Amino acid sequence: MEPVSMRGSLLVATPAIDDGPFRRSVVFLLDHDEEGALGVIVNRPLDSGVEEVLPEWGRAVDAPGCLFDGGPVAMDSALAVGVVDGFEVPPQGWRHMSGHIGLIDLDGPVPAHGVLRGLRVFAGYAGWSAGQLEEEIDEGAWLVVEARDHDVVSPCPDLLWAQVLRRQRDELRLWATFPDDPTLN
């Protein structure tokens, strides 16, 4: 039986992941099928500005105008995710992923100002082999929740983990109050 795709969802790290690149991370799943999953961590800004690596794209990204740590795989590569207003005429080089979110071809032209509601550039990505993500979810490492378009381009990425949890309608919202260091309670 083929797994139900979680493409377009958010993975929210639970406190079971207490160190490493995924601690308190929020991952937007760009792809998920029987061969595995691929996403980007949307709440890990880096110290480097986009213009330092991709000068022509620096003016197109939203605040904060820095690169984001997309995940531990292929950190020497970059990918861009953009949010469009609608689907009438998406910008050249934009490939739909979910909702109004899509990948942007960094080898193509920089979209004109105002064409996108938001744009982020990620160094690297997060990847899982076939069945690996499902095992991690079963072990309690990840919560799978609905993504909103603005999650990918949040102006306050450092607050996103708690914000996403707080908006849940069930007991998942309680995870937002989990202390940063439970040993200090």
Asked if pLDDT for residue 179 goes beyond 70, the answer is no
- Could you give the C-alpha distances from 159 to 44, 83, 103, in angstroms and in order? 10, 20, 24
- Could you give the C-alpha distances from 65 to 49, 50, 128, 133, 163, in angstroms and in order? 6, 6, 28, 30, 21
Instruction: State pTM to two decimals.
Output: 0.92
- CB-based contact 87:32 (threshold 8 Å): no
- CB-based contact 58:80 (threshold 8 Å): no
Instruction: List pLDDT tens digits, range 11-47.
Output: 999 999 988 999 999 999 999 999 999 999 999 999 9
Which stretches of the chain are DSSP H helices? 50-53, 132-138, 160-166
Q: If you average pLDDT over every residue of the chain, what do you get?
A: 90
> What is the pLDDT at residue 170?
85
Instruction: List pLDDT tens digits, range 43-95.
Output: 999 999 999 999 999 989 988 889 999 999 999 999 999 999 876 777 888 99
